[in-house]
Amino acid sequence: MSGLEGFRDLLKEYTALLGWAVATAALPFMTSLAGFAPPWPPGVQLLTALVGLLVLVLVYQLLRASLRKRTNRTVLIGAGVFVAACVLYSVLFSLFVFEIPAIKQNRVKGFICTPEAQLVFASKCPYLDLDELSGAQFEAGRLWTAPSIAAMRTMILADWLIMFGALAAVFGSFVVFQSDQPPRRRTSNHDGGARS
């Protein structure tokens, strides 16, 4: 193989990797449009795409020459982590994310009420809803402590990144393993029966 052919192969692989990066980035952007992405931090879609790309690189590097058994285990673990992270994310999102109706933006609640909110809403704290939030002009910091809001933002973000990282690991493992498999030959009955 000449140097030019090797460079051409490298360009093909780079273009394919770029395609994977775009596909990995597209899914977080679509979920963001559907209102399901974490409200914090701004630009979470880009961070998610970078995590997905990092996982794809790791999968390619670590599983490129792996046996089917190891790849199957990676796919199964990744799928299990993805499902568990989806369930946890749905619970966290439904309990600790609220939408400001006037501007249609999501914000994160905390899990420890401020002393003032505890006095007024003792029986409901920390699970306050839109009625209490509207009385506080939808400022979460008036109802929940800053550390509990920060911790919940971080938990939601971490679960989100784990979810997309696991998804990238499943797809990446599948593609890397299948791309190393020789193409299957079609069998025909014209040459004396099926081959194994």
60 contacts 172 by C-beta, under 8 angstroms: yes
Q: Where are the domains of the chain?
A: 3-180
User: pLDDT over 90 for what percent of the chain?
Assistant: 44
What pTM does this model have? Answer: 0.77
106 or 45: whose pLDDT is higher?
106
177 or 193: whose pLDDT is higher?
177
Work out the average pLDDT over 26-37.
68
E strands in the chain: 97-100, 105-108
Task: Output helix, strand, coil percentages for the chain, rounded to the nearest 5.
Answer: 65, 5, 30
**Does position 124 have pLDDT exceeding 80, yes or no?**
yes
Q: Is 186 helix (H, G, I), strand (E, B) or coil?
A: coil
149 contacts 112 by C-beta, under 8 angstroms: no
Please provide the average confidence, as pLDDT, over all residues in the chain: 82
The Cα–Cα gap between 76 and 110 comes to 34
> How many CA atoms lie less than 13 Å away from 22 in the CB half-sphere?
6
148 or 69: whose pLDDT is higher?
148
Work out the average pLDDT over 138-148.
96
* pLDDT given for residue 24 in this prediction: 60
* pLDDT given for residue 77 in this prediction: 95
Report the 10 Å Cβ neighbour count for 34. Answer: 8
* pLDDT given for residue 149 in this prediction: 98
